[in-house]
Structure 1
Amino acid sequence: MNILHIISAPASGGAEVYVKDLAKCLASQGHNLHIAFLSNASDVGRDPVYEENFLNDLKSSGVNIYIIGNETRKKPWLGMLRIKRYISDHNIDICHTHLAFGIIFTALSSVPVVYTHHSMEPRWGKLLYQVFNRLVDEYVGISNKCAKALESYTMRNINTIPNAVSEDKFIGYKRIRSPNDIINIVMVGRISEQKDYMNMLIALTLLDEKLKNKLKVRIAGEGAPVLKSQLIGFIENNGMENIVDFVGVKTNIPEFLYQADVFLMSSAWEGLPIALTEAAVSGLPCIVTDVGGCAEVIENSKNGIVVPPKNSKALADAIIHLINQPKLIEEYSRNAIQSSTQYSISKSAKLHLDLYSSILSK
């Protein structure tokens, strides 16, 4: 099967990593995979070194790469012409887009189109979703809650295919957590309003000094310099320089997670973050906010605590509850590893192939 995915840029976002792993898995099964990126990393202020490693990983796995061009954001007709030409030149059987621009770009093409919505937010008005309905053959939601939200926007039946991760990346990077005197907490995600790191920082100020001195919080991700400066200012004003550390982009997330005792997520909104599924696969106990499909991961894995978003007191209470019960950390960790196969990229690949085949057989 000749499959074209359309995604935003070769960057460190969850959707991008998921599509990369999915494409590599399908390519290893003998399918011809193509990924068209709307932009280069530099066009959208992302890390060029990460982009180079990202693209080299795809090339070495036999995945074809195409850059549509950042200018098509303002000139969508160029994107339509370029995608039409690419589909024709490469005999594409099915186009799977992970952003709305990709739907628009397929308007002049005749191949079936699948659209995966990676968020809970509608992003577009009802009128535009009616236009999308004429162009999209099948919709996919990355969690049950995301699927229900997308159904309310489109009034169409939605396929649910949960986010997944490559099992191979975690070979040698799984373990049952048994915490020591210092509890290493990690967070993974772009420094943005969505991740609501300030919620986490305020929660830390609510802990007593004895407990704070037992914690180390490391945050992996790139992001807006102004927001990062504000967060660092809060850290300094509250004397938490020895507790919280921004470590930048990590190219080996499984290794980064392996070194930790607890995964923490303080997001204000989500779809189903890849970082959370990676944390579960690695065997990490998790504390997450109840946004998007995050509670579904915790419920399925029985590996953590769910708290309301934008509630620093609830987040602080969850940290206290978990840190004061080392046996609970061990129990959650064991549960996470035992249930990790449900997030296998090979399982996700099969579900996608079944969907593609059902569309092409119509």
Structure 2
Amino acid sequence: MRICSIITSFTSGGAEMLARDLAERFAATGHDATVIALSDASRIGNDCDTESAMMDHIRQAGGHALSLGLHNRNAWITGARWLRQILRTTRPDVIHSHTARALPVMALARPQVPVILTHHNSRLSFPPMAFHVFNRIVDGYVAISEQCEATLRQHSRKPIQLIWNAANPRFQAAGPRRVLARDPRILAVGTVSEQKDYPTLVRAARLLAAAMAPQGRKPRIAIAGGGPMLGQLQALVEATGASEHVELLGARGDVDMLMRQADLFVNSSLWEGFPISLIEAATSGLPMVATRVAGNREMIIPGVNGELVPPGDAQALAAAMATALSDEAAYAALSAGALESARRFSIERCAHAHLTLYGDLRGRRDGAPLPRQVAATG
């Protein structure tokens, strides 16, 4: 099968990482996989090294990585012209967009193959009325969590399939972690944005340091992620005197190594879809502390693989991190629980579910309509 996936740009966001990992898996199983970005990283302020590394990963796996090179992601006519040229060359059997921004471009390009859209968040980044247009363009939707599925169900007039996100196999830990570090390393991963609410994590870092100081322990939080708000966050870290406790790593292509070095994973988001970083953390055997929001709630089972806290609550976040790092036996149990929960989210299972969906849509596009909702996979 010839599969064309479309993303906003080659960056370290969850949607983009999933598209990359799926393309690698598709290529490894004999399919022709192409990933197309709407814009170059340099055009929209993303990290060029991350872009280069992602494109190299796809090509080395046997896939193709291209960019429309749009100066403006809303340059629909230009984008449609370039996309038509690429489609004439790649001749895909199916087009899977991981960004709603690509749908106007595809509407103008008028591909004669099934089109799928994955909505990667529990919130809409566009007006709900946009679905009146989307429903004319797409043949089916993919939801990455139960909350995303519920959101799509309110607006979609096409089939919806729930397919859980997945982690790259390179994150797989050999076994659970059993020893607590004296000076624990805590890791957060994700684009520096309003959604991730890193200011709350910065405040929690100082509270955590104060709580562990009587034990002579010095925790340190590392945040791996780039984005246009990185400078603002760095200014906040310096202004609040949190530099001793928080390190901003910027965009990184070695998150698997960072997770192997970490002792705890933290997510401070105000909202989520189903963060791949949590799956990666669980696959790495990391206990997790995260906010009690959609997506996170579907991954974390309190007391089994981590803890959930109210969003925006620095004190609760600090207390949960301190608790997770205070008892070695409980810590080892959480690590084992994380590894067990990660079993559901293999890239092999995720890719198989996508390929099944593609085959169904190809086979039925000109025949009987698919049911409104397809059974969930997971």
When the two structures are superposed, what TM-score results if normalisation uses the length of structure 1?
A: 0.93
* Superposition map of 1:12-161 within 5 A: 12-71=12-71, 73-107=73-107, 108-154=110-156, 156-161=158-163
Report the Cα distance in structure 2 between the residues aligned to 1:208 and 1:9, rounded to whole angstroms. Answer: 37
Whether the 8 Å CA contact 1:264–1:286 is kept in 2: the answer is yes
- Name the amino acid aligned to 2:233: K
Q: Does 1:335 align with 2:337?
A: yes
Q: Does 1:227 align with 2:229?
A: no
How far the C-alpha of 1:94 sits from its partner, in A, is 0.4
Report the Cα distance in structure 2 between the residues aligned to 1:159 and 1:13, rounded to whole angstroms. Answer: 22
Report the Cα distance in structure 1 between the residues aligned to 2:162 and 2:302, rounded to whole angstroms. Answer: 15
Whether the 8 Å CA contact 1:183–1:261 is kept in 2: the answer is yes
CA offsets 1:304-344 (integer angstroms, 9 cap, x no match): 00112112222122123222222221101011122322111
1:73/1:22 CA distance change after superposition, 3 Å: same
CA offsets 1:231-284 (integer angstroms, 9 cap, x no match): 223442xxx332211122322111110111110111112111111110010000
Report the Cα distance in structure 2 between the residues aligned to 1:199 and 1:106, rounded to whole angstroms. Answer: 39
The SS at the match of 1:4 is: strand
Report the Cα distance in structure 1 between the residues aligned to 2:190 and 2:357, rounded to whole angstroms. Answer: 30
Larger deviation, residues 204-213 vs 31-40: 204-213
Which runs of structure 1 show a deviation greater than 4 angstroms over 4 or more consecutive aligned residues? 171-175
Q: Which residue of 2 aligns with 1:8?
A: 8
Report the Cα distance in structure 1 between the residues aligned to 2:74 and 2:171, rounded to whole angstroms. Answer: 40
1:185/1:177 CA distance change after superposition, 3 Å: farther
**Structure 1 portions without partners, runs of 5+:** none
- Name the amino acid aligned to 1:278: E
CA offsets 1:84-111 (integer angstroms, 9 cap, x no match): 3322332211000011122222212221
Report the Cα distance in structure 1 between the residues aligned to 2:27 and 2:16, rounded to whole angstroms. Answer: 16
Q: Which residue of 2 aligns with 1:195?
A: 196
Whether the 8 Å CA contact 1:192–1:227 is kept in 2: the answer is no
**Structure 2 portions without partners, runs of 5+:** 365-378
Q: Which residue of 2 aligns with 1:347?
A: 349
Identity %: 33
Q: Does 1:268 align with 2:263?
A: no
* Superposition map of 1:211-222 within 5 A: 211-212=212-213, 213-222=217-226
Report the Cα distance in structure 1 between the residues aligned to 2:61 and 2:282, rounded to whole angstroms. Answer: 26
Whether the 8 Å CA contact 2:99–2:119 is kept in 1: the answer is yes
Whether the 8 Å CA contact 2:199–2:233 is kept in 1: the answer is no
How far the C-alpha of 1:156 sits from its partner, in A, is 4.8
Q: Which residue of 1 aligns with 2:367?
A: none
1:298/1:161 CA distance change after superposition, 3 Å: same
The SS at the match of 1:203 is: helix
**How large is the RMSD of aligned CA atoms in angstroms?**
2.0
Report the Cα distance in structure 1 between the residues aligned to 2:304 and 2:82, rounded to whole angstroms. Answer: 46
1:12/1:183 CA distance change after superposition, 3 Å: same
1:66/1:247 CA distance change after superposition, 3 Å: closer
Whether the 8 Å CA contact 2:175–2:336 is kept in 1: the answer is no
Whether the 8 Å CA contact 1:186–1:263 is kept in 2: the answer is yes
Whether the 8 Å CA contact 1:185–1:217 is kept in 2: the answer is yes
Whether the 8 Å CA contact 2:7–2:35 is kept in 1: the answer is yes
1:23/1:208 CA distance change after superposition, 3 Å: closer
1:12/1:174 CA distance change after superposition, 3 Å: farther
1:301/1:205 CA distance change after superposition, 3 Å: closer
- Name the amino acid aligned to 2:341: S
CA offsets 1:146-179 (integer angstroms, 9 cap, x no match): 1111222335542111110121x13567542421
